[in-house]
């Protein structure tokens, strides 16, 4: 009942026509275009690990320019566009409402101007500072300003979703928010609090410093601000994928989501625990007392819990689907799932990958184990099976479902689409096994092998096999991505279909937000009090961060910029 659109939509803004489809298609389309550019720079990195140097033949000044472009385009630009499209459109469909269109286009163009500025700065070889932006490496002011615009554009989009949510609340007092909207709004609240660190770091430290208005930037303070945002950004990427796993995939499987209230609890836990954990990226940083690292270590254990719950809830929903399709026995429900549906298979393979990505994350979260692999190939191994597969492949699946619906064209070559996700899965697994293994052997990340091969000769002597695996993974990924983009671009170039491809449906639930008598469940209504949960989050974040931030601001050490390229 709560999953369908509401009849009480404020007059005038109810959905008719398709402007919100156009802006969503623009967000997804430009996001995928950024991914295409970033993707082309991926396989050369993988081959770099295997000792094959393609960078010298590419129209780039260096390996590091390619790495910066790859990281920024994939992790910051592609994700931001795609997520803004999703978190605007899915709630709009669920509520039967239209976002304020001028605002939506404003967000889109802000993001696009920001991307073009940062992109031009990177292409012009002025800003090879990698996607972590660490000073004292200094990029061009246009690079920093461009990235700040991208972040602000995400916040404008957040406000638009929030505006629809408030409109719905006014029209439906005392009712639980429909689930997809609830998930989207909680994700946005988390991101609104989380993005402050990066925004402050870029606007108040890097930008004035790159403009020459101040002489020095404080690397330690910036790193703290960066990871204040840099950890929760991974949940800003992940939670939209979870929205698909919870609200769309069970329906594709032919089943029902097992529990609506449990999903709300999961998202609230992400709100509370996503942010106060950033020091797990700074275990090796001097200047942060070990006690604070311990606090963030413990909080990191908490933030894994909602993902562990997700694993069981989503698996149970898939089993529900498999059994409804006639699957028998302990595992008999698995082969009967709709594996021929590329959109479904993309998400499920993304989940399977995330079992390993999550396990690697738990290893990294442990202080002592982290010190063994920090700054090694292990880390890119970890994040290519989290953001690079769990998230990206879920988005690829959503693209197969949504691009036809939004553009009015049927999907070109569904079999090629299916092949692309299997190849992405196999390629990324091969790549990641090689990367984790190299990391354990001590192969550093972010290094052009031919520059450091002499210094690390004995490390590389041991790592030849896993290095070759990573290179092989990169080649498989190239084929996977080529197929994927062929399907997407080909779909967009097709003639319009006679019949509009439908919107993927949202799932029903076995246990919904209402009691049998039709009144909302009490615990669901407690979870509706988002103001209270937001306040609690802010308190928790302040406890985890304020003391260190105050100390670092008071001991500000300004360092002049360097250009290492």
> Pick from 538, 540, 539, 533: which is nearest to 266 by CA?
533
Q: How far is the CB of 246 from ligand HAS (least distance, A)?
A: 11
In the complex with ligand HAS, the residue whose CB is nearer, 92 or 350, is 350
With CB under 5 to 8 Å by kind, the binding choice for 314 among Cu ion, ligand HAS, none is ligand HAS
Assigned token pair, 404: 């036809």
In the complex with ligand HAS, the residue whose CB is nearer, 68 or 112, is 68
With CB under 5 to 8 Å by kind, the binding choice for 382 among ligand HAS, Cu ion, none is ligand HAS
Q: Which of 264, 296, 384, 409 is catalytic?
A: 384
In the complex with ligand HAS, the residue whose CB is nearer, 300 or 552, is 300
Q: Which of 70, 89, 445, 460 is catalytic?
A: 445
Q: Count CB-CB contacts under 10 A for residue 438.
A: 29
CA gap 191, 155 in Å, rounded: 8
Q: Tell me if 115 sits within 8 A of 90, measured CB to CB.
A: no
If DSSP codes are grouped into helix, strand and coil, which group holds residue 294? helix
- In which element (H, E) is residue 511 found? strand 509-511
Q: How far is the CB of 502 from ligand HAS (least distance, A)?
A: 25
In the complex with ligand HAS, the residue whose CB is nearer, 356 or 506, is 356
Assigned token pair, 24: 């969503």
With CB under 5 to 8 Å by kind, the binding choice for 318 among ligand HAS, Cu ion, none is ligand HAS
Sign of CA dihedral 503, 507, 512, 518: positive
Does residue 445 have an active-site annotation?
Answer: yes
Q: How far is the CB of 384 from Cu ion (least distance, A)?
A: 15
Non-local (6+) Cβ contacts of 115 within 8 A are: 30, 34, 77, 146, 150
Distances (CA, A) of 305 to 237, 270, 294, 367: 17, 9, 18, 18
In the complex with ligand HAS, the residue whose CB is nearer, 144 or 425, is 425
197-236 residues in contact with Cu ion (CB under 5 A) are 231
Q: Which of 70, 231, 296, 405 is catalytic?
A: 231
Q: How far is the CB of 106 from Cu ion (least distance, A)?
A: 31
CA gap 422, 431 in Å, rounded: 14
Sign of CA dihedral 508, 510, 514, 517: positive
In the complex with ligand HAS, the residue whose CB is nearer, 387 or 544, is 387
With CB under 5 to 8 Å by kind, the binding choice for 354 among ligand HAS, Cu ion, none is ligand HAS
With CB under 5 to 8 Å by kind, the binding choice for 228 among Cu ion, ligand HAS, none is none
DSSP characters for 419-457?
HHHHHHHHHHHHHHHHHHHHHHHTPBSS--HHHHTTTTH
In the complex with ligand HAS, the residue whose CB is nearer, 165 or 236, is 236
How large is the greatest C-alpha to C-alpha distance in the chain, in angstroms? Answer: 73
Q: How far is the CB of 301 from ligand HAS (least distance, A)?
A: 8
Does residue 281 have an active-site annotation?
Answer: no
With CB under 5 to 8 Å by kind, the binding choice for 394 among ligand HAS, Cu ion, none is none
Does residue 39 have an active-site annotation?
Answer: no
Does residue 436 have an active-site annotation?
Answer: no
Does residue 70 have an active-site annotation?
Answer: no
Binding residues for ligand HAS, per CB under 6 A?
132, 234, 237-238, 280-281, 300, 303-304, 307-308, 310-311, 314-315, 318, 334, 348, 351-352, 354-355, 358, 361-362, 364-365, 370, 374, 379, 382-383, 386-387, 391
Angle of the 79-95 helix axis to the 179-200 helix axis, nearest 10: 150
Total residues belonging to the chain: 565
Q: Tell me if 10 sits within 8 A of 165, measured CB to CB.
A: no
CA gap 60, 64 in Å, rounded: 9
- Which chain residues interact with Cu ion by CB under 5 A? 231
User: Which residues are designated catalytic?
Assistant: 231, 235, 382-384, 445-446
């Amino acid at each position: 009942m709560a999953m369908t659109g509401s009849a009480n939509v404020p007059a005038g803004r109810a959905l008719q026509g398709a402007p919100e489809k156009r802006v969503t298609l623009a967000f997804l389309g430009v996001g995928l275009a950024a991914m295409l550019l970033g993707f082309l720079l991926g396989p050369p990195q993988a081959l770099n690990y295997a000792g094959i140097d393609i960078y010298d033949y590419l129209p780039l000044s260096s390996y590091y320019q390619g790495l910066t472009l790859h990281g920024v385009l994939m992790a910051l630009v592609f994700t931001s566009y795609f997520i803004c499209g999703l978190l605007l459109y899915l709630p709009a469909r669920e509520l039967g409402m239209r976002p304020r269109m001028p605002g939506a286009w404003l967000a889109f163009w802000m993001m696009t101007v920001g991307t073009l500025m940062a992109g031009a700065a990177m292409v012009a070889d002025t800003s090879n500072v990698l996607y972590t932006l660490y000073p004292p490496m200094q990029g061009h002011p246009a690079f920093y300003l461009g990235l700040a615009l991208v972040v602000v554009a995400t916040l404008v989009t957040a406000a638009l979703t929030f505006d629809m949510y408030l409109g719905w609340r006014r029209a439906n007092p005392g009712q639980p928010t429909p689930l997809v909207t609830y998930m989207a709004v909680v994700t946005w609240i988390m991101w609104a609090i989380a993005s402050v660190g990066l925004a402050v770091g870029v606007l108040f430290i890097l930008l004035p410093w790159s403009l020459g208005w101040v002489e020095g930037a404080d690397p330690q303070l910036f790193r703290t601000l960066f990871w204040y945002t840099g950890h929760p950004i991974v949940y800003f990427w992940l939670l939209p994928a979870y929205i698909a796993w919870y609200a769309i995939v069970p329906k594709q499987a032919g089943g029902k989501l097992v529990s609506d209230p449990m999903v709300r609890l999961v998202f609230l836990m992400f709100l509370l625990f996503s942010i106060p954990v950033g020091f797990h990226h700074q275990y090796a940083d001097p200047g942060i007392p070990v006690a604070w690292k311990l606090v963030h270590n413990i909080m990191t254990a908490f933030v894994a819990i909602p993902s562990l719950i997700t694993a069981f809830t989503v698996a149970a929903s898939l089993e529900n689907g498999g059994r409804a399709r006639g699957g028998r026995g302990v595992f008999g429900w698995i082969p009967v799932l709709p594996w021929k549906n590329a959109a479904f298979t993309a998400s499920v393979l993304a989940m399977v990958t995330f079992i390993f990505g999550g396990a690697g994350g738990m290893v990294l979260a442990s202080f002592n184990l982290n010190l063994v692999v920090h700054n090694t190939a292990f880390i890119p191994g970890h994040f290519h099976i989290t953001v690079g597969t769990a998230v990206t492949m879920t988005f690829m699946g959503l693209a197969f479902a949504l691009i036809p619906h939004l553009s009015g064209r049927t999907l070109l070559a569904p079999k090629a689409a299916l092949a692309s996700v299997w190849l992405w899965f196999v390629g990324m697994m091969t790549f990641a096994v090689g990367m984790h293994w190299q990391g354990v052997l001590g192969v550093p990340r972010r290094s052009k092998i031919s520059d450091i091969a002499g210094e690390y000769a004995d490390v590389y002597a041991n790592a030849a096999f896993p290095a070759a695996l990573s290179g092989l993974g990169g080649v498989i990924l190239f084929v996977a991505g080529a197929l994927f983009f062929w399907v997407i671009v080909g779909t967009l170039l097709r003639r319009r279909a006679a019949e509009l491809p439908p919107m993927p449906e949202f799932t029903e639930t076995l246990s919904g937000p209402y009691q049998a008598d039709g009144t909302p469940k009490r615990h669901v209504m407690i979870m509706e009090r988002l103001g209270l949960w937001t306040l609690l989050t802010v308190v928790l974040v302040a406890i985890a961060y304020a003391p260190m931030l105050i100390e670092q601001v008071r001991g500000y050490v300004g360092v002049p910029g360097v250009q290492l390229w």
